[in-house]
Structure 1
Amino acid sequence: MVLRTWYMVQFTMNLYPILQSHIEQAQALPISEERKAVLQVLIDYIQKKIDQHQEINLNYICTHNSRRSQFSQIWGKVAAAYHGIDINSFSGGVEVTAFNERAVASIKRFGFKISKEGEGNPKYFVLYSEDEDPIVTFSKVYDDAANAPKGFAAIMTCSHADENCPYIPGAEARIPVRYEDPKAFDDTLDEEKKYDERSLQIASEMLFVFSKIKK
């Protein structure tokens, strides 16, 4: 009999079929040795929390909390659940904008089911399985009340936030995992392609991270 602990999720997750196919696509992407070295810091942090039977709080941070950090919050949670690991996945920025509609559209193309509440800076409820609670996402500062106030890893997903926020109150670890901003391709013919490429890269790397965790 397998014992259920707070960090091990004992279930068979029924992912939406389109999402499942994209996860398989993400798992097949190559990751360079240089990039694996970057991700190893995050792997080591999570493994230490598992070994010490402690809650895992990950706060993905970029300047506007609109694209890369939102992708990371969503894929971090899904990748952890996919590998049977219970985490709390958050995101934040240094200023409030909104979960960019282009990034939302990309998540929809990947097979997530999304509902929206409010205008301006709406909350999005992102479902990856009918068996699981939705991931709640909206733009906010990293120390918003919706996020863990302390005992979390600040995962810096953009160079601007990493370079301009030398101190993150409440963070017990600071881990740079930077991604290029798909914003550079807004309103171009490559817009959808580049947003999907970035989302798939983040999915691939988060799936890699949690695949290395020993439970």
Structure 2
Amino acid sequence: MTATETTVFKDIEKVILELDPQSISEERKEVLQPLTDYIQEKVSKKAAIRINFICTHNSRRSHLSQIWAQTLATYFNIENVTCYSGGTEATALFPVVAETLSNSGFQIKTISEGKNPVYSIKYSENEHPIIGFSKKLTDDFNPKSEFAAIMTCSQADGGCPFIAGAEKRIPITFDDPKAFDNTPQQAEKYNERSIQIATEMFYIFSQIKA
């Protein structure tokens, strides 16, 4: 990566450099492969790459996946990637998710408050921030066609057998850190899930050949 190309914030880069993709099992790599193939096919065709990460409440795993995927696409200089997130229902981005990302070097500002706050999540000086808030997968903020739908929780995967407009529907599910809400392990477990997702997105984008 040359000095003129986009880079992520230094604190985020430190986290990325400590990721261990070797820790991903062969079984898990098979789960990740369809998304790698989808991205590679789009890159080879020089086509736009739209990825919508979907969970039940669009509050935790889908946001972590969206944000790390967008960040690592930039880190590996994969162009024309836009990552989205949505839920089968809208709730709110869980505040601990924002705290976890902030601790990893993301610059987060609250744009609007209320029951469903809107956040600006910035990962690079020169890239547009990700706008984070809970929304249904059909929200106007999300693409209507020519996208990959990534099911990040088993409940949404089972409950949404068909995603309108999706070219591909790929289950890549993660354990819910919500299980540790209001426990002494909360911060540790949210960070653990964030790092797992970052590691897997690193692995996916590191496979892509321009």
Q: TM-score range by the shorter chain?
A: over 0.9
Query: The residue matched to 1:18 in structure 2 has which SS?
Result: helix
Q: Pairwise mapping of residues 9-24 of structure 1 onto structure 2 (< 5 A)?
A: 11-24=4-17
Aligned to 2:61: 68
* CA RMSD of superposed structures (Å): 1.5
* Structure 1: stretches of 5+ with no match in the other structure: 1-8
1:12 Cα deviation after fit? 2.8
2:104 aligned residue (100, 110, 117): 110
Aligned to 2:194: 199
* Structure 2: stretches of 5+ with no match in the other structure: none
Q: Pairwise mapping of residues 38-187 of structure 1 onto structure 2 (< 5 A)?
A: 38-86=31-79, 87-119=81-113, 120-187=115-182
Query: The residue matched to 2:6 in structure 1 has which SS?
Result: coil
Query: The residue matched to 2:23 in structure 1 has which SS?
Result: coil
Report the count of equivalent residues: 207
Instruction: Report if the CA contact (8 A) 2:148-2:170 is conserved.
Output: yes
Instruction: Report if the CA contact (8 A) 2:21-2:203 is conserved.
Output: no
Instruction: Report if the CA contact (8 A) 1:116-1:123 is conserved.
Output: yes
Question: Partners in 2 of 1:49 and 1:159 — Cα distance?
Answer: 26
Q: Which amino acid aligns with 1:13?
A: T
1:27 Cα deviation after fit? 4.1
Q: Which amino acid aligns with 2:182?
A: D
Question: Partners in 2 of 1:169 and 1:16 — Cα distance?
Answer: 35
1:122 Cα deviation after fit? 1.5
TM-score (norm: length of structure 2): 0.95
Percentage of identical aligned residues: 47
Cα deviations across residues 95-114 of structure 1 (Å, max 9, x unaligned)?
01011001111011111000
Query: The residue matched to 1:26 in structure 2 has which SS?
Result: coil
TM-score (norm: length of structure 1): 0.92
Question: Partners in 2 of 1:41 and 1:123 — Cα distance?
Answer: 31
Cα deviations across residues 89-144 of structure 1 (Å, max 9, x unaligned)?
00000001011001111011111000112222111111112121111111000111
Instruction: Report if the CA contact (8 A) 1:29-1:204 is conserved.
Output: no
Instruction: Report if the CA contact (8 A) 1:83-1:210 is conserved.
Output: yes
Q: Which amino acid aligns with 2:135?
A: K
Question: Partners in 1 of 2:22 and 2:105 — Cα distance?
Answer: 18
Instruction: Report if the CA contact (8 A) 2:138-2:144 is conserved.
Output: yes
Aligned to 1:3: none
Query: The residue matched to 2:52 in structure 1 has which SS?
Result: strand
Aligned to 2:203: 208
Query: The residue matched to 1:201 in structure 2 has which SS?
Result: helix
